[in-house]
Structure 1
Amino acid sequence: MSWQMADIWENIAQAIPDKPAIVDGDKRYSWAEYEDRAARVAQVYTDHGLKPGAKLAIYSYNSAEYMEAQFGAFKARICPVNVNYRYLEAELTHVINNSDSEALVYQAQFAPRVAAIREQLEHVKLFLEIADGSGEHLDGAVDYETALQAASPMPVIERSDDDLYMLYTGGTTGMPKGVMYDHKTFSSALFTKGFEMREMTLPEGAAGFGPLTQALHAADAATRSIPACPIMHGTGMWIGAMIPHALGGCVVLFDNSHFDPAALWKLTQDEKVTDLTIVGDVFAKPMLAALDDAQAAGKPFDLSSLQMMGSSGVMWSAEVKKGLLEHIEMVIIDSMGSTEGSMGASVTTRETTESDKTASFDMAETTRILTEDGKPVAPGSGDIGLICNGGMVPLGYYKDEKKSAETFRTFDGVRYSIPGDYATVEADGSVTLLGRGSICINSGGEKIFPEEVEEVLKTHDSVYDCLVVGVPDDRFGEKITAVLSVSKGTQFDEGALNDHVRANLAAYKTPRAFITVKDVPRAANGKAGYKDAKEIALNALNLEVA
């Protein structure tokens, strides 16, 4: 009845050894080859002194080696640690040291950055370097492929449902934090959601995944998934890779070092992909533009294989969903969640686009909207509450008891994850997401959630992307300021934008200043760069940080 990830994937590999598991350019591995390579890298870890319970950092773009390194860690009962490839020296050092990582698996192109912090890394005793054609190399590092080929596959060992799984999240303030799960809580809850989306029943442990995946392949219903967003983050790894793998599917790796929407659609077409995972409008808007351009050129992509597109964590506007569905008949799953847990989702098809509303979600059965003191928010009341997620609740933040106590709380005997997202409950029971409390703007005594204003601004034809921040103001305390990029072929008109916001929101939520930029600051996974946006606003308005 094991729920340890390696046990599940080993069971699948034994059941469908010749079926495809990984595609990464010219690298194509069956489930048997994938499992063998993971077993070999697991042996490399143990040969270098890593024992069960050790931590191992992975610093790479989307690649087959990333997936193998993680699978191998699970096999050896080692906890893999995701490293954001955009981090500079301070954050990079923090994640590796804070996680107590004893090994670092990294692409060679990052060797200069690793070399710069090498003396500060407190526990790392193995530098495992993935050759990537960059020509970079860290002295003393072990070549990944050479070590893997020289190693014998590690024998299967007994594992525990209590083995640690951890994902580092940047959050909105402070240094990144490691969100801890035990394998049973994590994999059973994650796969339950993935199977429910497909109206399937989850097996009762690892042994049940093999027969189920055999049946899926026999019915020609196997999943082929592209995580178009970084697998170093939860959305890409969990939705784009782990859930498809649990279905015995193939994960097709997309080169995410530079996002090329036309290349993504071509890969989808060529590999006959069934599932795509993105992160909201920052991915979906250029993808829609690429479809429009291909259509206009008389060379549309053949996307008849695509059945599902999923996103999590940021806004995906109803207008963009509708545009995509005009090109592709599929199901769109827009999930509301964070590294600390999933809270709800909305499902959109061609038949439901007219009723779809941006940032409106149906709550998961384990989700509640509660006030600060744990009282339920009544549907239709207009009151604002905290989104409290039950079910898939982490153990806590690694080595941060204070933050753990603040985020993971118990009301009426039920433990919830409360990362700080606020919402209202509509009369029909659906949830409208307002945003993270830590970025809430206080203007003239009124609380304004940036995402609510951003959603309205982005429905105007002239706004391609935007973030809303508060800057110091003598009269109001904070002045609402929009940092935005203008849609191609349109003109920026401040008066028209003011009128548009006022027609949809209370007047006090209208931005008092608009700043246009070429690109709105966002992380590689599409998450909002509010800190950078605020700096842009302060500089543009000649203001200093309060």
Structure 2
Amino acid sequence: MSGWNFAEVWEAAAEAAPERTALVHDGRSRSWSELDRRADGLARGLLDAGLGHQDVVALALYNGPAYLEAAFAAMKAGLVPVNTNYRYGPDELVHLWTDSGARAVVFHGELVAVVEQTRARVPDVALWVHVDDGTGECPAWATPYADLARPASERTRGPWGVSGDDRIVIYTGGTTGLPKGVVWRQHDLYRISDVAHDPDEPDLDHVRSRVEEKVGPVGLPASPLMHGTGFVFASTLLSRGGTVVTLGERRLDVPGLLRTIAEQHVSALCIVGDAFARPIVDELDAHPGDYDVSGLRAVSSSGMVWSDGVKQRLLAHAPEAVLVDLLNSSEASGMGRSVTSARGAGRTGRFRAGKNTIVIDDENRVIEPGTGGVGRVAVRGILPLGYHNDPVKTAATFPTVDGERVSVPGDWARVEDDGSVTLLGRGSTSINTGGEKVFGEEVEDALRSHPDVVDAVVVGVPDERFGARVAAMVAAVAPVEEADLIAHVRGRLAAYKAPRHVLIRDSVGRGPHGKADHPWVTHEIERWLAAGAAPARA
């Protein structure tokens, strides 16, 4: 073997515990043996369609068994699984599938109309696979998923076999431009996600032994599998011989989520910050005793702020849980973490730096603790190969620092005296006001610390004198005055960081993935200002 390959690891788990449950979706279970054999059948279908070594299989799928089966099948066949955001319109899909070089697309029936609009514009796609979700018949131009995913009686491999050099491409959400595909070697992605502490060199006998000896965890990715966080979380569960539980409802159904945690004895939960955690604790607080979440042992989050108050409310219902707030990105893993439990608490926005994490200045020099310096977070060690089809962006994001290649995904942070880092935000969304740089996340944290504010997004709006001025959209649970919120921020941060405008709404418009839509927030604030809103005076 030339390195760890997810397909071989999952096959070893299936061999060690064939009758254990691998997948649960909407209450229906699938064993490890069924998962393995169905993925073999689908892999054979992909190869029979003429796909070649390391051709791309795009997954336009909601959470459920088909996502993980299709990814497993692609890796068995020596192909490349590529995530696809199921919220994209035709133009975005055409860009992603053209940029990635997709040769097959697996999609849920609900997406037939939008997928059909792309077909003439992506002629290199040789196979369209329709996953029946009860929304309509399989179109004539597609192949039913059920016809391909029939259990196979033997292992499927392409003539080229599988390798640790096989790729997985994770497309970013495109918050700073068009989506970019981050290219990982499977061996490298396996190593950075390996919580079972397998040997550096592949040893499938070792995998079989540990799966036989210990039942793996039961985990629920509440976040979408089509995002890197959800997929890596689910992949890690499978690599440990565990069980991945997914929900039938495609929107965040909090009562259904909490019932499933209790019914399936979920021990690990993956969420996206307050966008998921706040409605979860609101439901738990409103219905004490209705949901048993005491079996939770680990709740992880990445990609959005997870506020201290919400964490404490969750611990009141799941006192044995460890809450892990991860500072990660598709380009870099292990930048930092903040751990909260009943025995101690982290602080929102402050992360304990990972062992390979540094912060560098504009000259790519390392900022040492105790200097109070602000710079870009960088990670050394195991890194992706770069961006697919973009050598310029690859060179910018993966520079050499002190003779070692690092990843600099764009997060800015302040180095504290104790070596921890306080996350300030993405440089691409920072606000330059009168020559001072303001990081939106820092101001958002200050706004959320107000007892009546549940969420906030901070942006810059044009200003003739200062170039830009700070503005915010907040969601509040009680009536609150704009001037009071501005004064609240000024009591915590430098005056120039306080917003000049605060638009108060019921929601700040985050999507189910929890990410802020900065262009939309900016548009809404500018429209509000154009209608006559004046800067508030605190």
Q: Which residue of 1 aligns with 2:141?
A: 140
- 2:322 and 2:341 in contact (8 A); partners too: yes
Residue 517 (structure 1) shift:
2.5
Mapped to 2, the partners of 1:134 and 1:95 lie a distance apart of 25
The answer to whether 1:209 aligns with 2:186 is no
Residue 90 (structure 1) shift:
1.2
Mapped to 2, the partners of 1:129 and 1:321 lie a distance apart of 40
- 1:450 and 1:468 in contact (8 A); partners too: yes
Q: Deviations over 1:370-403 (max 9, x none)?
A: 1122211121322111100112311010001111
Residue 206 (structure 1) shift:
4.4
Q: Which residue of 1 aligns with 2:58?
A: 57
For 2:305, give the aligned amino acid.
M
1:23-422 to structure 2, matched below 5 A, reads 23-149=24-150, 153-156=154-157, 158-191=161-194, 194-195=195-196, 204-207=201-204, 208-217=206-215, 222-239=216-233, 241-255=234-248, 257-295=250-288, 299-329=289-319, 330-342=321-333, 343-353=335-345, 356-422=346-412
For 1:260, give the aligned amino acid.
D
The answer to whether 1:532 aligns with 2:482 is no
Mapped to 2, the partners of 1:526 and 1:213 lie a distance apart of 34
- 1:111 and 1:136 in contact (8 A); partners too: no
Which of 497, 504, 519 matches 2:507?
Answer: 519
Residue 122 (structure 1) shift:
2.8
- Structure 1 vs Structure 2: percent identity of aligned residues? 38
Q: Give 3-state SS (helix, strand or coil) of 1:134's partner.
A: coil
- 1:112 and 1:138 in contact (8 A); partners too: no
The answer to whether 1:460 aligns with 2:447 is no
TM-aligned CA distance change 1:203 to 1:382, over 3 Å: closer
Mapped to 2, the partners of 1:68 and 1:504 lie a distance apart of 49
Residue 464 (structure 1) shift:
1.4
Q: Give 3-state SS (helix, strand or coil) of 1:259's partner.
A: coil
Mapped to 1, the partners of 2:151 and 2:275 lie a distance apart of 42
Q: Give 3-state SS (helix, strand or coil) of 2:301's partner.
A: strand
Mapped to 1, the partners of 2:249 and 2:517 lie a distance apart of 19
Which of 493, 496, 500 matches 2:484?
Answer: 496
Mapped to 2, the partners of 1:435 and 1:35 lie a distance apart of 42
Mapped to 1, the partners of 2:501 and 2:285 lie a distance apart of 32
For 2:330, give the aligned amino acid.
T
Mapped to 2, the partners of 1:346 and 1:202 lie a distance apart of 27
Q: Give 3-state SS (helix, strand or coil) of 1:23's partner.
A: strand
Mapped to 2, the partners of 1:174 and 1:292 lie a distance apart of 39
Q: Give 3-state SS (helix, strand or coil) of 2:393's partner.
A: helix
Q: Which residue of 1 aligns with 2:11?
A: 10
- 1:179 and 1:340 in contact (8 A); partners too: yes
Moved over 4 A (4+): 150-154, 200-204
Mapped to 1, the partners of 2:78 and 2:325 lie a distance apart of 33
- 1:203 and 1:209 in contact (8 A); partners too: no
Mapped to 1, the partners of 2:47 and 2:460 lie a distance apart of 50
Instruction: Give TM-score, length-normalised by structure 2.
Output: 0.95
Mapped to 2, the partners of 1:536 and 1:522 lie a distance apart of 13
- 1:62 and 1:231 in contact (8 A); partners too: yes
- 1:439 and 1:450 in contact (8 A); partners too: yes
For 2:329, give the aligned amino acid.
S
Aligned alpha-carbon RMSD (Å): 1.7
- 1:441 and 1:449 in contact (8 A); partners too: yes
Mapped to 1, the partners of 2:231 and 2:464 lie a distance apart of 45
For 1:373, give the aligned amino acid.
E
Residue 318 (structure 1) shift:
1.1
- 1:288 and 1:320 in contact (8 A); partners too: yes
Q: Which residue of 2 aligns with 1:472?
A: 462
Mapped to 2, the partners of 1:101 and 1:45 lie a distance apart of 12
Mapped to 2, the partners of 1:150 and 1:223 lie a distance apart of 25
- 1:11 and 1:206 in contact (8 A); partners too: no
The answer to whether 1:445 aligns with 2:435 is yes
Q: Aligned pair count?
A: 526
Residue 30 (structure 1) shift:
1.0
Mapped to 2, the partners of 1:108 and 1:167 lie a distance apart of 23
| Unmatched segments (≥5 aa) in structure 1 | none
- 1:43 and 1:152 in contact (8 A); partners too: no
- 2:380 and 2:404 in contact (8 A); partners too: yes
TM-aligned CA distance change 1:149 to 1:409, over 3 Å: same
Mapped to 2, the partners of 1:382 and 1:415 lie a distance apart of 25
Q: Deviations over 1:96-148 (max 9, x none)?
A: 11110001100011001011111111311111000001115433210001232
Residue 181 (structure 1) shift:
0.8
Mapped to 2, the partners of 1:203 and 1:81 lie a distance apart of 26
TM-aligned CA distance change 1:173 to 1:359, over 3 Å: same
Mapped to 1, the partners of 2:301 and 2:516 lie a distance apart of 15
Residue 152 (structure 1) shift:
5.7
Residue 93 (structure 1) shift:
0.9
Q: Give 3-state SS (helix, strand or coil) of 1:74's partner.
A: helix
Mapped to 2, the partners of 1:161 and 1:468 lie a distance apart of 42
TM-aligned CA distance change 1:413 to 1:256, over 3 Å: farther
Q: Give 3-state SS (helix, strand or coil) of 1:361's partner.
A: strand
- 1:463 and 1:484 in contact (8 A); partners too: yes
Residue 156 (structure 1) shift:
4.5
